[in-house]
Chain A
């Protein structure tokens, strides 16, 4: 349940397919309107029929499977009615099978574009870095994010000299890796423990982090500990900037995200089993274990704590993120139906 990006991409692809279909339908309908001007009764009747069929199909949204595997008959009824218009010539002349093939080709190319976008989003975001990072700034980041890494390196390329604090991000300690990579690229980095974030944040100008997912209300799901950092940033009036690609934007609203959108990892990352093996067996009176270890992997940060989202389509305020959903997702796909087993 925690890998929201997967669901996002599935919805994006569905949306692409629907869009393609919708644009085909739209053109067909337009063709109808143009051709209805003829006063051939037979044709008008036929047109009305086909128009209603077209309208019906666009309204009741046949299953996507049907869209892709459209039977030649329905395709023919769709398109043969349009006789007059020149722009329909091409379509009319196509063989129905080829037409569905054409449709699929368009969908595939759109999906390829999506893949390309995802792969290069951090480069696009990094180009915006120079607007936000200036000389002699001190930046704090948390854990490790490839987008953040490219963001900071791009600013370094532009000869902005700034200092960096990296919080290590237990229990994965990805911050260590990030610090090593950035130091190798020439950035002045200091590794601090997560507990020292409040102590150091008074000297920090900006907090830049990458996240796991962005929810529709503008809240973010990030590595555990991010809420602490965001609260400290708000207390010291330090801007909390989230860099993310749009593929992480999830159309769901978070409901009890600490539990429902969280994932608990093994306690051995936090407490070594060898040292505490004797304590594991203690039981209190009711038989419940005496020692619990909590190791959540994600943290929810509410939208009030985020100052800015920097995405590959620009910078936005958290309360605006819900508008982007309409661009990328269809409302039918928000709840993905489970197919009944039978």
Chain B
């Protein structure tokens, strides 16, 4: 198809810039005037303001551009020392020495108590005082500021309703007011939980004994290697390798005391750039995930399951390797078991229920909810006698994770967060008392959330708003928290642009985003994904969110994203994917079939709001007819122009580099 635009932005040859640059604050160099601005449906407003804005850039924008010097590329900083555990390492990585200090953190500002203050110029501070964290950001013209105002970091209390707080991150569906009442009614439920208990405890015991032996082996090997090595270098690498071996979620390995000692000794000299020796590097290959067409493993998993699932009868052959269960039966069943809590902490239970019902959806929201639930669980945890904290706590976390997995398969962001947490638990020095250890872990989780998710989102917004110009028509698909924040922030900065929201069945998440944006005053167009070829003629940029970006540059995101990116590529429209770095994963995937999530098939046969469309009522059990409800799909990297992360704006090929340099041992520095 011919390119629809007469001229794309052509930079003046005299100042040819290579790489990703933020536009210079003086807009007079930025290419020919947009032909787009004359064709938007806000003719009067757009052209006049576009003409005005092109010549005089509003001052706050230049304040906020992350690379203050217009000619500096946004670089990935060199790898840093992954200094270890005991004290919080982390100043936030400085992206480039030339970067303006709008978000600079003072070194050592993160300490154990929760008074983290990231200071810069006089600001609007927000966040909930109940957590004692204030995060200040640089001024925006509208002091009401960040859509992160919707971020409410109140801890998940068993009786409160967190969903209403996390508006920008999750789907807004407040729990039905009668939630607690319905649970009370169903107390007289079955006593199946009791039967599950002995089954649960037995495999725990088996795993402990195997892990004991294995831990001894590792310790011996570590000791041998330490004795052989010239400096502490090698021991650092073995401890690193051992720690990464610990991080595998499916193997419940528990570190022994000897390993912890070697880790603490070696930590100070460990350099991030060292490569582990060859034999340990093999262990770093990601463990293949469970394939559900392997009958024996499915049976084993079922025996340990907390949530009763019945497999769906009408399954698509192509997806036999993915779990598919009858929907609609899990929620009432679990609700009735709410008061027989035993293996599962009530907060975790509640989060699981929210996953099943769809009240919490979206990578960030699910991850935050899970981590906060774990914080609560750790707070209430007490070590039983004759058990070490690390081992027992890890086992408990594993059981919670498998429960959540049964409620709804884990997203990649959640998987990374869990590996981080387990890594932290493993690295706890043994000299700590229980309460100190618990406090450490809680603050670790807190730091992970605020750094890797909240702050990362802010950095992404800062980078991405530089790519929005006046007169732009921006297209987005579904509802992504990062993209929503970008749009709202750009609107607050006073940029004139239009938004096109493309929505897809069956979740129709775009409608929620549409409501929120229209409420804030953005001018929006809404279309079904089928109309994307029609609407793409007017679009200048496409912003997409991602559930994860894999190491071959493939963007793993909500189903329909690939179609949008493909059509945008066809029309020569740039596609920007906004994804926090903690969601990156070392896995690779070629198409959407290898790994996916299957949703409820009934959601396809029913069309909400259109009662005349009822052809498929009652057909879900026909033997020839199957309904396939995919949740995710994989967008090939050639359709993606740029990925905006908290490490900067990078091409898709840089993702494995970020994974390797910054995610070693799940330390995430």
Interface bits B627-643 vs A (CB < 8 Å: 1, else 0): 11110011000000000
Chain A residues near B609 (CB-CB < 8 A): 272, 274-275
Contact check, A194 vs B505: say whether CB atoms are below 8 A apart.
yes
Chain A residues near B511 (CB-CB < 8 A): 271, 275-276
Please tell me which stretch of A11-19, A181-189, A318-326 contacts chain B, meaning at least 4 of its Cβ atoms lie within 8 angstroms of it. A181-189
Q: Given the known inter-chain contacts A168-B604, A279-B518, please indicate yes or no for A179 contacting B526, CB distance below 8 A.
A: no
B217 is an interface residue with CB less than 8 A from chain A? no
Complex: chain B residue closest to A193, CB-CB: B505
Interface bits A268-312 vs B (CB < 8 Å: 1, else 0): 011110111001001011101011111110011010000000000
Contact check, B521 vs A294: say whether CB atoms are below 8 A apart.
no
Chain A residues near B44 (CB-CB < 8 A): 286
A-side binding surface: helix, strand, loop or mixed? mixed
15 contacts between A and B (CB under 8 A): A168-B604, A173-B615, A177-B615, A179-B616, A183-B622, A189-B626, A191-B626, A191-B627, A194-B505, A196-B628, A198-B562, A200-B592, A223-B530, A258-B534, A282-B521
Instruction: Give Cα A232–Cα B566 distance, bound, in whole angstroms.
Output: 8
**Total number of A-B contacts with CB less than 8 angstroms?**
200
A180 is an interface residue with CB less than 8 A from chain B? yes
Contact check, B504 vs A195: say whether CB atoms are below 8 A apart.
yes
Chain A residues near B533 (CB-CB < 8 A): 224-225, 227-228, 258, 299-300
Within 8 A of B (CB), among A195-217: 195-200, 202-203
Top 5 A-B pairs ranked by shortest CB distance?
A195-B560, A225-B530, A199-B592, A195-B504, A183-B625
Contact check, B616 vs A176: say whether CB atoms are below 8 A apart.
yes
Name the contact of A191 in the complex, choosing from B504, B531, B604 (C-beta under 8 A): B604
A192 is an interface residue with CB less than 8 A from chain B? yes
A225 to chain B, nearest CB (A): 3
A262 is an interface residue with CB less than 8 A from chain B? yes
B570 is an interface residue with CB less than 8 A from chain A? yes
B506 is an interface residue with CB less than 8 A from chain A? yes
Contact check, A292 vs B624: say whether CB atoms are below 8 A apart.
no
Chain A residues near B616 (CB-CB < 8 A): 176, 179-180, 191
Which interface residue of B42, B624, B633 has the most chain A CB atoms within 10 A?
B624
A5 is an interface residue with CB less than 8 A from chain B? no
A235 is an interface residue with CB less than 8 A from chain B? yes
A206 to chain B, nearest CB (A): 16
B251 is an interface residue with CB less than 8 A from chain A? no
Residues of A within 8 A of B (CB): 165, 168-171, 173, 176-177, 179-180, 182-184, 186-200, 202-203, 223-225, 227-228, 231-232, 235, 258, 262, 269-272, 274-276, 279, 282, 284-286, 288, 290-296, 299-300, 302
Name the contact of A189 in the complex, choosing from B505, B562, B610, B624 (C-beta under 8 A): B624
Beyond contacts A165-B628, A202-B592, A293-B527: 8 other A-B pairs, Cβ-Cβ < 8 A, are: A191-B625, A193-B559, A194-B505, A203-B318, A228-B530, A276-B515, A290-B523, A299-B533
Contact check, B610 vs A269: say whether CB atoms are below 8 A apart.
yes
Instruction: Give Cα A284–Cα B531 distance, bound, in whole angstroms.
Output: 24
Contact check, A279 vs B515: say whether CB atoms are below 8 A apart.
yes
Complex: chain B residue closest to A176, CB-CB: B615
Contact check, B591 vs A284: say whether CB atoms are below 8 A apart.
no
Contact check, A224 vs B534: say whether CB atoms are below 8 A apart.
yes
Chain B residues near A191 (CB-CB < 8 A): 604-605, 616, 625-628
B265 is an interface residue with CB less than 8 A from chain A? no
Contact check, B518 vs A290: say whether CB atoms are below 8 A apart.
yes
Complex: chain B residue closest to A173, CB-CB: B613
Instruction: Give Cα A227–Cα B567 distance, bound, in whole angstroms.
Output: 9
Contact check, A293 vs B505: say whether CB atoms are below 8 A apart.
no
Name the contact of A294 in the complex, choosing from B316, B534, B626 (C-beta under 8 A): B534
Chain B residues near A189 (CB-CB < 8 A): 624-626
Name the contact of A228 in the complex, choosing from B519, B526, B563, B592 (C-beta under 8 A): B563
Q: Given the known inter-chain contacts A271-B526, A302-B1, please indicate yes or no for A193 contacting B566, CB distance below 8 A.
A: no
B532 is an interface residue with CB less than 8 A from chain A? yes
Contact check, B625 vs A197: say whether CB atoms are below 8 A apart.
no
Chain A residues near B158 (CB-CB < 8 A): none
B525 is an interface residue with CB less than 8 A from chain A? yes
Which interface residue of A189, A198, A272, A294 has the most chain B CB atoms within 10 A?
A198
Instruction: Give Cα A193–Cα B507 distance, bound, in whole angstroms.
Output: 11
Residues of B within 8 A of A (CB): 1, 41-42, 44-45, 316, 318, 504-506, 511, 514-515, 518-519, 521-535, 537, 559-560, 562-563, 566-567, 570, 591-593, 596, 604-605, 607-610, 613, 615-616, 619, 622, 624-630, 633-634
B308 to chain A, nearest CB (A): 27
Chain A residues near B518 (CB-CB < 8 A): 279, 282, 290-291
Q: Given the known inter-chain contacts A189-B626, A284-B42, please indicate yes or no for A292 contacting B526, CB distance below 8 A.
A: yes
Chain A residues near B608 (CB-CB < 8 A): 272
Which interface residue of A169, A191, A279, A300 has the most chain B CB atoms within 10 A?
A191
Instruction: Give Cα A171–Cα B529 distance, bound, in whole angstroms.
Output: 10
Q: Given the known inter-chain contacts A270-B527, A272-B609, A293-B527, please indicate yes or no for A262 contacting B624, CB distance below 8 A.
A: no
Name the contact of B41 in the complex, choosing from A177, A193, A235, A288 (C-beta under 8 A): A288
B492 to chain A, nearest CB (A): 16
Instruction: Give Cα A202–Cα B634 distance, bound, in whole angstroms.
Output: 11
Contact check, A296 vs B505: say whether CB atoms are below 8 A apart.
no
Chain A residues near B559 (CB-CB < 8 A): 193, 195-196, 199
Complex: chain A residue closest to B526, CB-CB: A293
Q: Given the known inter-chain contacts A193-B505, A203-B593, A284-B521, please indicate yes or no for A170 contacting B633, CB distance below 8 A.
A: no
Chain A residues near B562 (CB-CB < 8 A): 198-199
Instruction: Give Cα A170–Cα B629 distance, bound, in whole angstroms.
Output: 15
Chain A residues near B515 (CB-CB < 8 A): 276, 279
Complex: chain A residue closest to B527, CB-CB: A294
Complex: chain B residue closest to A262, CB-CB: B534
Complex: chain A residue closest to B592, CB-CB: A199
Contact check, B534 vs A199: say whether CB atoms are below 8 A apart.
no
B98 to chain A, nearest CB (A): 38
B611 to chain A, nearest CB (A): 11
Complex: chain A residue closest to B608, CB-CB: A272
Chain A residues near B610 (CB-CB < 8 A): 173, 269
Instruction: Give Cα A216–Cα B158 distance, bound, in whole angstroms.
Output: 67
Contact check, A199 vs B593: say whether CB atoms are below 8 A apart.
yes
Complex: chain B residue closest to A185, CB-CB: B624
Chain B residues near A296 (CB-CB < 8 A): 531, 534
Chain A residues near B570 (CB-CB < 8 A): 231
B29 to chain A, nearest CB (A): 29
Contact check, B504 vs A193: say whether CB atoms are below 8 A apart.
yes
Which interface residue of B44, B525, B526 has the most chain A CB atoms within 10 A?
B526
A156 to chain B, nearest CB (A): 11
Instruction: Give Cα A192–Cα B603 distance, bound, in whole angstroms.
Output: 11
Chain A residues near B634 (CB-CB < 8 A): 199
Chain B residues near A203 (CB-CB < 8 A): 318, 593
A294 to chain B, nearest CB (A): 4
Instruction: Give Cα A232–Cα B515 distance, bound, in whole angstroms.
Output: 31
Name the contact of B626 in the complex, choosing from A182, A190, A285 (C-beta under 8 A): A190
Instruction: Give Cα A186–Cα B514 distance, bound, in whole angstroms.
Output: 42
Q: Given the known inter-chain contacts A173-B607, A203-B318, A290-B518, please indicate yes or no for A194 contacting B566, CB distance below 8 A.
A: no
Contact check, A285 vs B514: say whether CB atoms are below 8 A apart.
no
Contact check, B563 vs A232: say whether CB atoms are below 8 A apart.
yes
Which interface residue of B316, B519, B531, B633 has the most chain A CB atoms within 10 A?
B531
Chain A residues near B624 (CB-CB < 8 A): 182-184, 186-189
Q: Given the known inter-chain contacts A193-B506, A279-B514, please indicate yes or no for A225 contacting B529, CB distance below 8 A.
A: yes
Chain A residues near B519 (CB-CB < 8 A): 279
Instruction: Give Cα A231–Cα B609 distance, bound, in whole angstroms.
Output: 30
Q: Given the known inter-chain contacts A224-B534, A270-B526, A284-B523, please indicate yes or no for A235 contacting B628, CB distance below 8 A.
A: no
Chain A residues near B593 (CB-CB < 8 A): 199-200, 202-203
Contact check, B527 vs A194: say whether CB atoms are below 8 A apart.
no
Contact check, A199 vs B633: say whether CB atoms are below 8 A apart.
yes
Chain A residues near B316 (CB-CB < 8 A): 190
B155 to chain A, nearest CB (A): 33
Contact check, A235 vs B566: say whether CB atoms are below 8 A apart.
yes
Q: Given the known inter-chain contacts A199-B562, A295-B527, A296-B534, please indicate yes or no for A228 contacting B615, CB distance below 8 A.
A: no
Instruction: Give Cα A225–Cα B567 distance, bound, in whole angstroms.
Output: 11
